[in-house]
Amino acid sequence: MAKGLHPVVKLAKKTVESYIREGKMPKLRKLTPEMKERAGVFVSLHRHGQLRGCIGTFEPKEKNVAGEIVANAISSSTRDPRFPPVTASELDDLEYSVDILTKPEPVADISQLDHKEYGVIVESGRRKGLLLPALESVDSVEEQIAICRLKAGISADEPVKLYRFQVRRFQ
């Protein structure tokens, strides 16, 4: 197991490696305080500095964060529609990031957002788009919202509800 990684990142890494190599999920033994909480979680995979998978939940679906990490690590490595499933030959090149989200809160307007501090959820009816905060390629709140609209299929002129959240990012 990789030394120096935070336990939540180790769990994501162990999950992906176990699932890709053996088709199995790891057994959850010792849970850290973060892993016992209930929260939305995103697991991001990068290979050679490029995104290789990113799937998550903005509201908890599992019993705890550990369960969210396991489910989303598997989805990030095998079910991100932007990429083919991760292969065993790629495992040594992967870098992992785990974001644990705070509960989303509604905001009145974009003045309450900051693309470096807050992730954003854009909602119109049943369509929702989410973007994590502090992404290297995103330079403004307006760009963050535009990406969310695109992800959710919400046109630029449709009225939307905005929500913000913060993350604890582990790498």
Residue 89, domain member (yes or no): yes
Do 29 and 90 fall within a single domain?
A: yes
Which of residues 74, 101, 128 is at a domain's end?
Answer: 101
Do 123 and 140 fall within a single domain?
A: yes
Do 110 and 152 fall within a single domain?
A: yes
Task: Encode pLDDT of 21-74 as tens digits.
Answer: 999 988 888 899 999 999 999 999 999 999 999 999 999 999 999 999 999 999
Residue 93, domain member (yes or no): yes
Specify the pLDDT at position 27: 85
Name the helix (H) or strand (E) containing 73: helix 65-78
The whole-angstrom separation of Cα 115 and Cα 103 is: 17
DSSP strand pairing (105-107 vs 119-124): unpaired
DSSP strand pairing (119-124 vs 94-101): unpaired
Beta strands in the chain (DSSP E): 41-47, 50-56, 94-101, 105-107, 119-124, 127-131, 161-165, 167-170
Which of residues 78, 101, 124 is at a domain's end?
Answer: 101
The whole-angstrom separation of Cα 117 and Cα 94 is: 26
Question: What are the beta bridge partners of residue 165?
Answer: 119
Do 14 and 96 fall within a single domain?
A: yes
Specify the pLDDT at position 2: 53
The whole-angstrom separation of Cα 121 and Cα 131 is: 7
pTM higher than the cut 0.85: yes
Do 89 and 120 fall within a single domain?
A: no
Task: Encode pLDDT of 113-143 as tens digits.
Answer: 999 999 999 999 999 999 999 998 899 999 9
Q: Residues for the chain: how many in total?
A: 171
- C-alpha count within 13 angstroms, C-beta hemisphere, residue 35: 16
Residue 78, domain member (yes or no): yes
Residue 2, domain member (yes or no): no
Q: Residue 150 is part of which domain span?
A: 105-170
**Percent over 90 (pLDDT), the chain:** 91
Do 91 and 121 fall within a single domain?
A: no
Do 58 and 75 fall within a single domain?
A: yes
Do 34 and 74 fall within a single domain?
A: yes
Q: Buried b / exposed e across 45-79, counting CB within 10 Å, b at 16+?
A: bbbeeeebbbbbbbebebebbbbbbbbbbbbbbbe
Which of residues 101, 116, 148 is at a domain's end?
Answer: 101
Do 111 and 97 fall within a single domain?
A: no
1 pLDDT more than 80: no
Residue 138 sits in a domain whose CATH number is 3.30.1490.150
Contacts of 23 (CB under 8 A, 6+ apart): none
Do 132 and 77 fall within a single domain?
A: no
Do 42 and 109 fall within a single domain?
A: no
Do 97 and 14 fall within a single domain?
A: yes
Number of domains in the chain: 2
